[in-house]
């Protein structure tokens, strides 16, 4: 009997991805939520290589444990030799969506055992991510969206529409879990999905999601080139005590800000925004004796200060 059409197309997509990006891989993991995207991905991935399903239970809903256990059982039925439920405690930093994401990726990173982790993000997810970046004014790195390959994370479905994974689940007789958060208007991404993108598709006569995904891909190529140039420039402007502001000032703005970003991250900064990077950049490009700039730090007890002294950009910690 012929393999169902939607499932066959999805399997072809994932197999092509594996040949291109994961040649020689003997096993992989799939992050399984129980939703249509990750469930369809698990089904086809398990048909290609030995697959371990990793199911994160965020504990944010009364039935979360039951949902996770159902997903685990489904993964085993689909042919995964292993399936594990990872229970996490979700904090509050950055808001509920960001806190859940931080907890989820932390659990997956601790459990994947060195194997690639396939994520079920689709073209529709990419379009939503680009819109979020645009709305927040976060700069080209944010507008570039999610990367296809960002080891250990791999996204083989970024060129696939969400409707295709739903169709594959239907063909396989699967009953995906529908996360109520996906339609909850309290969440920004939910409103983008249910209100903003449909309106844009209507006003612009369709094709918006695909166009946003193409924009992300083009920006990723640009970012990769600029990041490589910035890496070489960072080595040239670094001294034992900081960054040489005179040599920094000679760099094109796009390269200079990337140099500053890399330097701040290496010095312990976390969660940088484009606005914060531009404020530190102003210590070079618009210097008039201003004071230092506080940037987010990995330490909860200290804050990180970027300042300028004797022709150098410097970093130091201050108690909170």
Question: Which residue positions form the known binding site?
Answer: 33-38
Parallel/antiparallel/unpaired status of strands 293-295 and 243-244: unpaired
The arrangement of strands across the sheet holding 312-319 comes to: 243-244, 312-319, 302-309, 293-295
How far from chain centre, in Å, is Cα 82? Answer: 25
DSSP summary character for residue 80: -
Cα 64 from Cα 86, distance rounded (Å): 11
Cα 28 from Cα 48, distance rounded (Å): 10
Q: Which of 136-151 are b and which e, b meaning 16 or more Cβ less than 10 Å from the residue's Cβ?
A: eeebebbbbbbbbeee
Residue 295 pairs in a beta bridge with 304
Exposure of 201 by Cβ count < 10 A (0-12 exposed, 13-18 middle, 19+ buried)? middle
Please give the structure tokens belonging to residue 283. 């210590």
Q: Which residues are annotated as a binding site for ATP?
A: 33-38
Cα 248 from Cα 255, distance rounded (Å): 9
Rounded to a whole number, what is the distance in angstroms from the first to the last CA of the chain? 67
Residue 171 — left, alpha, or beta (φ > 0 → left; ψ -120 to 50 → alpha)?
alpha
DSSP 129-191: HHHHHHHHT--HHHHT---SEETTEE-TTTTS-HHHHHHHHHHHT------GGGG-TTSHHHH
């Amino acid at each position: 009997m012929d393999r169902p059409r939607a499932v066959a197309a999805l399997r072809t997509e994932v197999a092509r991805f594996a040949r291109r990006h994961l040649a020689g891989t003997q096993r992989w993991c799939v992050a399984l939520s129980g939703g249509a995207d990750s469930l369809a991905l698990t089904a086809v991935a398990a048909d290609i290589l030995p697959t371990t399903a990793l199911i994160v239970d965020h504990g944010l809903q009364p039935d979360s444990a039951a949902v996770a256990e159902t997903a685990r059982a489904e993964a085993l039925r689909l042919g995964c030799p292993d399936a594990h439920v990872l229970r996490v405690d979700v904090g509050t930093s950055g808001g509920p969506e960001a806190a859940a994401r931080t907890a989820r990726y932390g659990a997956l990173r601790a459990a994947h055992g060195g194997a690639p982790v396939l994520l079920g993000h689709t073209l529709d997810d990419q379009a939503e991510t680009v819109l979020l970046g645009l709305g927040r004014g976060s700069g080209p790195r944010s507008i570039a969206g999610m990367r296809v390959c960002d080891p250990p994370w791999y996204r083989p479905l970024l060129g696939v529409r969400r409707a295709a994974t739903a169709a594959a689940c239907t063909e396989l007789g699967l009953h995906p879990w529908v996360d109520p958060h996906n339609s909850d208007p309290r969440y920004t991404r939910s409103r983008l999905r249910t209100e903003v993108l449909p309106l844009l598709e209507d006003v612009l006569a369709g094709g918006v999601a695909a166009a946003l995904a193409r924009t992300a891909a083009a920006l990723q190529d640009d970012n990769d080139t600029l990041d490589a140039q910035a890496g070489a420039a960072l080595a040239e402007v670094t001294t034992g005590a900081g960054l040489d502001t005179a040599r920094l000032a000679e760099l094109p703005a796009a390269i200079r800000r990337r140099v500053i970003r890399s330097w701040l991250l290496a010095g312990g900064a976390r969660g940088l925004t484009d606005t914060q990077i531009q404020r530190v950049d102003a210590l070079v490009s618009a210097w008039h004796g201003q004071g230092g700039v506080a940037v987010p730090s990995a330490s909860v007890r200290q804050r990180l200060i970027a300042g300028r002294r004797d022709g150098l950009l410097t970093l130091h910690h201050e108690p909170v």
